[in-house]
Amino acid sequence: MASWKSSDYPTTGAGRTDSVLPAEVHGLPIARQHVPKRKGQFFKHAYPYFLIAPTFLILTTILAYPWLVSLHWSFQSFNPILDIQPRFVGFQNYVKVFEDPLFWRSTINSAYLIVPSLVLEFLLGLGIAVLLNRRLIFERFIRTAILVPMMMAPALAGLMWRLFVHPDFGLFNYFLTIVGLPKLLWTASPTLAIPTIILVEVWQNTPFVVLILLAGLQAIPLEQFEAARVDGATAWQMFRYITLPWLTPLIAIALLFRTIFIIRTFDTIMLLFSSIGGVGNSALVFGNYLYFQTYKIWDLGLSSAISYVILLVTGILTIAYTVYLYRELKF
């Protein structure tokens, strides 16, 4: 990793080659000028479209088309397994979702899960990234250790934490008693259900934030700090006026993906708790709500409507980042 050495032609990490190499000559991309002439104008222009055709074929048939079909079904009541004839019900499915107290319970729980998790992951992630942003002994070992939770199946994380926070023989309670605190019920307590999930989420996903912010920190040109130091800037000023602006797009990306993926939280909860929603539905979030309703009622029209509501919520939560990234990202 040579990326923290200031250099005009960084070889790793920063991906800056585009800015130093001419992408185009005489208005045409260099690569395209060498397409053999005999193949004709049409083929020349069509070539990139051929390359992306398989991708769009797969994405439209397996993601876009099912989502559209699902939109259609969300206005029907139907069950493909029992072969019950679909019937049009208009907005009834959506009304059912919004009138369901369980849905609102899952919304409140999701908010209670998402906000503290994102804040903690961001703060811890930034802190750890700053700690790691220097030459270290055991550097490879430390980085690998950090990758393990992030790459692990969320279901598996749920399993091992269930053992860890078990009220009767879990290590967590043991540590608490060592420092003189009382044993806690963790997943068996309605008030601690969501904090327990936050704990697991933060454990598993802080590494993702660390990696992305670390990449951002390493891409900052050192000259900027040197210039600031010459001008007598304080450490805080350097952080505020150099580090933070450089990190902003990375922070947006990290938070965007964390938001999308924390809304899906499902595997962890399924395996962390004995019942789908925990004690008294205290751990019921969007994902579990969808699962619970699907397997209880078996009306895929209703389930489709719930899917669309979750999609809508995700859209609303991520629109700010998305607009920002669409403006910022260079293609």
Q: Is 103 in the site for another protein (CB under 8 A)?
A: no
Rounded to an integer, what distance in angstroms lies between the CA atom of residue 317 and that of residue 16?
Answer: 31
Rounded to an integer, what distance in angstroms lies between the CA atom of residue 310 and that of residue 285?
Answer: 11
**Of these, 45, 229, 240, 296, which contacts another protein (CB under 8 A)?**
45
Q: Is 48 in the site for another protein (CB under 8 A)?
A: yes
Give the interface segment with another protein, choosing from 67-75, 87-95, 102-110, 230-238 (CB under 8 A): 67-75
Quick check: 71 and 87 in contact, CB under 8 A? no
CB of 103 to another protein, least distance (A): 13
The DSSP 8-state label assigned to residue 181 in this structure reads P
CB nearer another protein, residue 64 or residue 231:
64
Q: Is 296 in the site for another protein (CB under 8 A)?
A: no
Quick check: 171 and 164 in contact, CB under 8 A? yes
Q: Which residues contact 71 (CB under 8 A, 6 or more apart)?
A: 304, 308
Q: Is 93 in the site for another protein (CB under 8 A)?
A: no
Query: In 3D, which of 279, 290, 262 has the Cα closest to residue 102?
Result: 290
**Of these, 112, 122, 225, 308, which contacts another protein (CB under 8 A)?**
308
Q: Is 163 in the site for another protein (CB under 8 A)?
A: yes
Give the interface segment with another protein, choosing from 113-121, 187-195, 228-236, 246-254 (CB under 8 A): 246-254
Written as six digits, the tokens of 231 are: 């001008």
**Of these, 143, 189, 221, 228, which contacts another protein (CB under 8 A)?**
143
Quick check: 74 and 60 in contact, CB under 8 A? no
Q: Is 62 in the site for another protein (CB under 8 A)?
A: yes
* DSSP-assigned letters across all residues of 226-251: HHHHHTT--HHHHIIIIIHHHHHHHH
Site string for another protein, 252-291 (x = CB under 8 A): xx--x---xx-xxxxx--xx--x-----------xx--xx
CB nearer another protein, residue 219 or residue 279:
219
Cβ–Cβ contacts within 10 Å for residue 264, how many?
14
